[in-house]
Amino acid sequence: MAHMNLWEQLIYYYAHNGSYVLAQFNRHFLISVYGVILAAIVGIPIGIFIAHHTKLNGIVIGIANVIQTIPSLAMLSIIMIGLGLGVNTVIVTVFLYSLLPIIKNTDTGMRNVDPALLDAGTGMGMTRIQLLRLVEIPLSLSVIMAGLRNALVLAIGITAIGTFVGAGGLGDIIIRGTNATNGTAIILAGALPTALMAIILDVVLGWVEKKVDPTA
């Protein structure tokens, strides 16, 4: 490979390691998605709750902000003490970092619902659950989706460093490149699919966000 230029080296690497790159791409994608799904399961109800109990808003958002300030490598190391090496440590790390955008956007979306619509629903005899299910959630769904979109793009970046705790993913390829002599092409072989994944998911979720926006 020494006589090839950078792009020829990159094509050569993909040609000879395509199945490995694809396997790591899938692994990276699933780790990111699992972490964000768990964060959505926990974060969306919390966001709804604090939107209705505003006194707790500052405390919950403050805790989520504190989590966000911890460097990702430090967070991985802390969680690794309890869960050991492997995928679970990275999924939990992604989960924790995804909470802030999901909780914050859910809270914002819920509080931006026009009070007149809630009054109209109450006047029609809707229960608290019906108002939530038929009015508040549908009207705040695009803002919630924006939070999920931010969380997933963030998760892809965090998952890349999961290689340091033996979780695999595209970060493995990047690290191999940094350890190799003239490994720039190998670094690119891992970095380009990572960036591509983030861009594609951002575009897809952006499209979904517009589709669920009631004002669009």
Residue 52 lies in a domain: yes
- The candidate with the shortest Cα–Cα distance to 96, out of 140, 149, 42, 50, is 42
Work out the average pLDDT over 203-215. Answer: 84
> Rounded to the nearest 5 degrees, what angle is found at the Cα of 87, between the Cα atoms of 78 and 194?
105
- Per mean pLDDT, which of 6-10, 35-39, 122-126, 211-215 is the most reliable? 35-39
Q: What is the DSSP string of 30-80?
A: HHHHHHHHHHHHHHHHHHHHHHH-GGGHHHHHHHHHHHHHS-HHHHHHHHH
Alpha carbon 97 to chain centroid, angstroms: 8
Nearest-10 crossing angle of helices 87-111, 137-160: 150
Statement: residue 2 has pLDDT above 70: no
Structural domain contains residue 8: no
Distance CA 20, CA 138 (A): 41
Query: In this structure, are residues 140 and 113 in contact, taking their beta carbons and an 8 Å threshold?
Result: yes
What are the φ and ψ backbone dihedral angles of 94, each rounded to 5 degrees? -60, -45
Number of folded domains in the chain? 1
* Residue 5 maps to a domain: no
Mean per-residue pLDDT, 107-126: 88
Range of the domain at 135: 20-211
Residue 107: inside a domain, yes or no? yes
- CA–CA dist 170, 156 (Å, integer): 10
Would you state the pLDDT for residue 122?
86
Distance, CA of 138 to chain centre: 22
Q: Is the pLDDT of residue 59 over 70?
A: yes
State mean pLDDT over 54-83. 91
Residue 23, pLDDT > 90, answer yes
The answer to whether residue 77 is domain-embedded is yes
Helix count and strand count (H, E) for the chain: 9, 0
**More confident site: 164 or 44:** 44
Provide the CATH number for the domain around residue 190: 1.10.3720.10
Q: What is the mean pLDDT of the chain?
A: 90
For residue 203, give both structure tokens. 């575009």
Q: What is the pLDDT of residues 164-176, one digit of tens each?
A: 898 889 999 999 8
Residues 94 and 84: their CA atoms lie apart, in Å, by: 16
40 versus 211: which is more confidently predicted? 40
Start-to-end CA span in the chain (Å): 52
2: in domain:
no
Integer Cα distance of 128 and 35 in angstroms: 30
3-state secondary structure of 85: coil
Tell me: the pLDDT tens digits for 76-94? 999 999 998 889 999 999 9
175 and 187 Cβ atoms separated by less than 8 Å: no
pLDDT higher at 4 or 195: 195
pLDDT at residue number 3: 67
Instruction: Please check whether residue 11 lies inside any domain of the structure.
Output: no
Per-residue pLDDT at 203 = 92
Question: Which has more pLDDT, 43 or 130?
Answer: 43
- Residue 7 lies inside a defined structural domain of this protein: no
